[in-house]
Amino acid sequence: MADKKQIPLRISEKLFNDLSAWAEDDFRSINGQIEYLLTECVRQRKKNGKYISDEIDVPPELDIE
């Protein structure tokens, strides 16, 4: 297994709670869920050469605060 890098991550409590619940639904740790989501985003970008959103300068409307 390849070595993994450790990075500090600061997120809002609401986002943490939402990710934690999602991770539990998917039977993953919160770290595993974050890694899975980031991997899927990178895979999608490599697949079509674009970011998920075509409006890259417009922030998504997320209820995370």
The pLDDT value given to residue 40: 86
pLDDT mean over 36-64: 71
pLDDT band, very low/low/confident/very high, at 47 (cuts 50, 70, 90)? confident
Q: Give pLDDT tens digits for 13-42.
A: 999 999 999 999 999 999 999 999 998 888
Kindly report the average pLDDT of the chain as a whole number. Answer: 82
Share of residues in the chain with pLDDT > 90 (%): 51
CB 14 within 8 A of CB 64: yes
